[in-house]
Amino acid sequence: MRTGSSKTTALRAGLLALGAVLSLDLAAAVLRVGPGETFVRIADAAKSARDGDIVEIMPGEYRGDVAVWKQERLLIRGLGERPVLIADGRVAEGKAIWVIRNGDIQVENIEFRGARAGDGNGAGIRFERGRLEVRNSTFIDNQIGILTANFEDAELTIHDSLFAQAPRQERPLPHLLYVGRIARFEISGSRFHQGYHGHLLKSRARYNDIRYNLLYDGPHGEASYELELPNGGVAFVVGNIIGQSANTQNPIVIAYGAEGNIWPDSALYLSHNTLLSDRLAGTWFLRTFSDHLPPDAEILGINNITAGIGAFTLTASGTFTGNVPLPPGGLRDPDTLDFLPRGSSLLRWATKPAGSVRSISLAPEAEFALPRGTRPLPPLRHWLPGALQSGD
């Protein structure tokens, strides 16, 4: 009898919990922001929204309309032509155009411009804690595009977004994207260009999944590192185009472990990336700081292309196979964003089977597609080295 009673009690509790969730979903509202809508200002919608609501922002410019989002669950999306949020001298809590406190939040189709803060770290979005997913959004001329706090249970996912035009400040460094000490960071189909002294992408996350992006500073860029993973961690860097300008502030394209390991497990897996540099004095396409990393940190590079004057494996200890060095001019036309290698029909015979590590395939399943996003790739019998497989 006691067992049956316990099961009945547990069932009732489960039904009550399910009913509570369903009632929350049924009570969810759509809050619309824009001229002539219920809310004219985003900040007012942020104060009124409840957990589970959807906030829709109409096209147009929203100047100085900064907000703090405190909900536990929310979808915020721009409708139609991407609405543009211009800081216009204001940031919420002295931090960002939007501060996301601690929830499961989705942001879609929003543009963030011109964030400036007194500490020099004004962000389009300051992500404090929880889970944040950003899709099809744009971050232009912010001191930092997205800046996270350092909570080790936080997760950040970014798809099909643009980070560009760092302001010309030197202290503190303006990174286009700065991920702090969080649990997990994933990014795909996104584009970075026109950095200045800071890095295009910097991540201290414990686990990094960086796939099918275009991190190409371009002729007007003056970034330092294009990709920096300063504290080690596990990083899958697959199918990216990563390029350094002639005006770079540092002769390293990818840096791993420069500031010392902080995680119990560190490994870097580079597969099918196209790495290029316009630096005439030469570059390190990859520099791993082995004296700062655990002795068992695994470094693997397979089927990557390097194009330009520089070294890939010379200063990096690890396992490298199927990688192809090309001279300057070895890619079709980077100035017009054509990164396919010349003589690609011959290069298809240079690759090795990418294989898998940690039960994760290192063969690309997609490739970056302009202006941002990805296109899927079928399994191929003969792969090109580098990030691009189609178009030749």
pLDDT value of position 21: 46
pLDDT, tens digit, 9 for 90 and up, residues 194-241 = 999 999 999 999 999 999 999 999 988 999 999 999 999 999 999 999
Confidence at residue 313, expressed as pLDDT on a 0 to 100 scale: 85
Q: Give the residues of the chain that fall short of pLDDT 50.
A: 1-3, 20-24
CA pair distance 252, 255, nearest whole angstrom? 7
**What pTM value is reported for the model?**
0.91
Residue 390, pLDDT score: 82
At 299, which amino acid appears? I
3-state SS class at 389:
coil
Question: Quick one: pLDDT at residue 348?
Answer: 85
Please tell me the predicted confidence (pLDDT) of residue 25: 53
Are 87 and 66 a contacting pair, CB within 8 Å? yes
Question: Distance between CA atoms of 134 and 69, rounded to whole angstroms?
Answer: 14
What is the reported pLDDT for 1?
40
